[in-house]
Amino acid sequence: MSAPARRDRARAFVPDLIPEPKDLDRTGPLDAREVRDLERVHEARDHYQTARWIRGKALDAALRRGLYRGEDGQRTRQQYLDDEWDGMSETAAYREAAAWPLAREISEAWGRPAPDSHVQALTEAAEAHGLATVTQWYVELRRHGQETGRRVTAAVASNLADHLLGGEGPKVALDPLFTPRQLPPAKKKSAAARTKTGGTAPEHPLSHLNLAALSAEQIGRLDAWLAAEAAATGIPPERAADLLVSTLTEADLSKWVTP
């Protein structure tokens, strides 16, 4: 079933319709009942994602309308978040509140909700270029991924955001967005740091020695993780990459090697 045909799943979802999880030894094509059960599994998934943007809208309303202050008018935003939102920080609250309009737009245009990491990656671009523009390009990206058999990951969504925020114009070439970004070059250690264990610093960088290097698959995994963590913490992916590389290159590999 195509994505737009799923438009009303979450609205009609009833939790009791989820099939009971149990081990079954089945092979071959799904029968009619299994097709229905799978549809209900997907209804539950879409309901959860839709509930996420509804939650974001509710949080946005509480903050912007000043409802957090309580009946006595004395409660602060953080006190409200501690009391009613499981101790969420104000930073996380405003990040979630800012994301719901785009999440709703994508859900309505694409026919199913987008993952939280995709929405968070694109929120800044939506603030800069408008919900309609970013939603249009995200839907085009998802369709292109379906047509070419490629997954739209959080890293791919971040690539789209980077393009839109980079001032390169409204026309987006979709194929390059699926190419993993290269990690930034490692910071050079001082001579003292390189020789503190008694050895001498290598004369050439690692790539010139034909030693082990990151594979494309490893770079892709790192890129996806960085995009997700950047979205979760509210920092640019480039900053997240710099922090990761700095943390790793300022320590000796021996810390992680088991004797």
Q: What is the pLDDT of residues 36-62, one digit of tens each?
A: 999 999 888 888 878 889 999 999 999
Angstrom CA distances, 210 to 153, 205, 219, stand at 31, 10, 18
Residue 193 has pLDDT above 50, yes or no: no
Cβ atoms of residues 159 and 238 within 8 Å: no
The pair of three-digit structure tokens given for residue 44, joined into one six-digit string: 């539950």
Report the pLDDT value the prediction gives residue 214, as an integer from 0 to 100.
Answer: 65
Residue 12 has pLDDT above 60, yes or no: no
Q: What is the pLDDT of residues 120-161, one digit of tens each?
A: 999 999 999 999 999 999 999 999 999 999 999 999 999 999
C-alpha triplet 233, 236, 238: angle, nearest 5°: 120
C-alpha triplet 11, 160, 91: angle, nearest 5°: 65
pTM of the model: 0.60
Cβ atoms of residues 122 and 160 within 8 Å: yes
